[in-house]
């Protein structure tokens, strides 16, 4: 069993937080296999990051689960104040504001085990069964039936994702932030239009992450890549 975690100092600045989250995701991708259990105990308070971790597990057809430590804010703040390497109070409050509680209705948060902070026992057997005995999810809903060459697959992946992020940029220019959902090339799904400006750097970062997760999965049906990327953007932009 291996454990990956981020230090509190990485949370103080948004840029450093993104770098730490990226480093952690890379560490999970390198370490996770069908024979290794990885505990990603940190940086996962954002649902978009939990979705990324879910995609990593799904890509290699291995089960995953989410263990949620149910703790009142006041109690968590008390614990933090008593730690040697604690969060600054301002940083702590910002983390509470940004925290997105897991929801078992989301496939990336399921199965979900909530352990209340003062519980005397934890559902250890159920957690073990979830990661050791449960049938893993299929790699995706469009498990391939037609082979493609590695070169063609990567080319299509790069081309399609670039076309879509360019369409999102143009869509926000046309509709404005918070306007109508945006149609994107080669996808039956529309991309949400959040009530904020989406920067090109943010879209490039999400594109890079999606390509990194999927570039080795050459057994995917290339006709479904656009729908998958649109779904990925919707999860991370909403």
Domains of the chain as residue ranges with CATH: 2-132 (3.40.50.300), 150-237 (no CATH)
Place of tokens 């509190």: 8
pLDDT of residue 12: 60
**Is 0.85 surpassed by the pTM of this model?**
no
pLDDT of residue 238: 75
pLDDT of 168 strictly over 70: yes
Is-contact 163 186, C-beta < 8 A? Answer: yes
pLDDT band at residue 6 under the 50/70/90 scheme: very low
On the CB side of 19, CA atoms within 13 Å amount to 9
Average per-residue pLDDT in the chain?
84
Average pLDDT of the residues in 222-238: 85
Average pLDDT of the residues in 11-30: 78
Average pLDDT of the residues in 180-200: 88
Q: Mean pLDDT: which of 7-16, 54-63, 86-95, 120-129 is highest?
A: 120-129
Q: How far apart are CA 231 and CA 211, in angstroms?
A: 14
pLDDT of 4 strictly over 80: no
**Range from 24-28, 87-91, 115-119, 145-149 carrying the lowest mean pLDDT:** 145-149
Share of the chain above pLDDT 70, in %: 86
pLDDT of residue 187: 86
Long-range contacts, stretch 140-144, CB < 8 angstroms, 24+ apart: 140/58, 140/220, 140/224, 140/228, 141/224, 142/220, 142/221, 142/223, 142/224, 142/227, 142/228, 143/219, 143/220, 143/221, 144/219, 144/220, 144/221
């Amino acid at each position: 069993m291996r454990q990956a975690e981020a230090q509190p100092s990485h949370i103080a600045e948004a840029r450093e937080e993104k770098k730490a989250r990226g480093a952690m995701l890379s560490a999970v991708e390198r370490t996770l296999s069908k024979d290794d259990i990885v505990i990603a105990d940190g940086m996962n308070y954002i649902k978009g990051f939990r979705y990324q971790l879910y995609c990593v597990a799904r890509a290699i057809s291995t089960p995953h689960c989410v263990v949620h430590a149910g703790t009142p804010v006041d109690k968590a703040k008390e614990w933090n104040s008593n730690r040697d390497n604690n969060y600054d109070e301002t940083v702590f409050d910002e983390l509470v504001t940004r925290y997105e509680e897991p929801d078992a209705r989301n496939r990336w948060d399921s199965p979900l085990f909530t352990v209340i902070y003062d519980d005397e026992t934890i559902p250890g057997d159920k957690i073990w069964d979830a990661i050791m005995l449960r049938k893993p999810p299929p790699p995706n809903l469009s498990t391939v039936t037609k082979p493609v060459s590695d070169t063609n697959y990567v080319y299509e992946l790069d081309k399609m994702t670039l076309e879509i992020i360019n369409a999102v940029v143009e869509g926000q220019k046309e509709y404005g932030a918070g306007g109508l959902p945006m149609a994107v090339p080669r996808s039956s799904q529309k991309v949400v239009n959040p009530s904020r400006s989406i920067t090109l750097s943010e879209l490039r970062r999400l594109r890079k992450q999606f390509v990194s997760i999927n570039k080795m999965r050459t057994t995917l049906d290339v006709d479904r890549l656009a729908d998958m990327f649109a779904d990925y953007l919707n999860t991370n932009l909403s």
